Amino acid sequence: MTGSARRRGFDAERELALRLWSKGFAVVRGPASGSRARRLIYPDLVALYHGRIFVFEVKYRRSGGPLYVEAEQARRLEEFARRAGGEAYIAVKVPRRGWRLVPLESAAYTPSGRLRIGEEELETAPTLEEFIRSVVNAALPLEGGESRPGKLSSQPSSGEGSGRE
């Protein structure tokens, strides 16, 4: 990765962290973000909102065409989310088009094992604003004091691994 590409990645991570923080999320950047640390599993960002946990791998996409995430990176993100009881996303910043949050479970794998996010997946993924609205609305109490269900409405409801039934 070139210096300017790494800089864009750091800037995108910082921007996403600040945007989520400004909307009431608690946000932490991974200590090894962008450093190719191999021994432990760290996502780029971890965000919490009223007991829900979201883990993000942040990507900056300057040009068209599919975006690929290395198999090991995707596996580590999935493992961290599983251990934390959270939801895993690939957060993609596209200049002049904003953020798209692709649920890890909706991305397809190539025969070589890499995660592939094509234009169609990006277009159908929630924007950052849609994601925030969905999470915040899910945390609002209904009449009688109950909360709304936790997962984003655009995701299939599997109920597995969340530990929050």
So which residues are the catalytic ones? 33
Name the residue with tokens 């945007």.
Answer: 19
Measured distance CA(77)–CA(33) in Å, rounded: 12
Give the Cβ contact number of residue 141 at 10 Å.
Answer: 9
Measured distance CA(90)–CA(60) in Å, rounded: 10
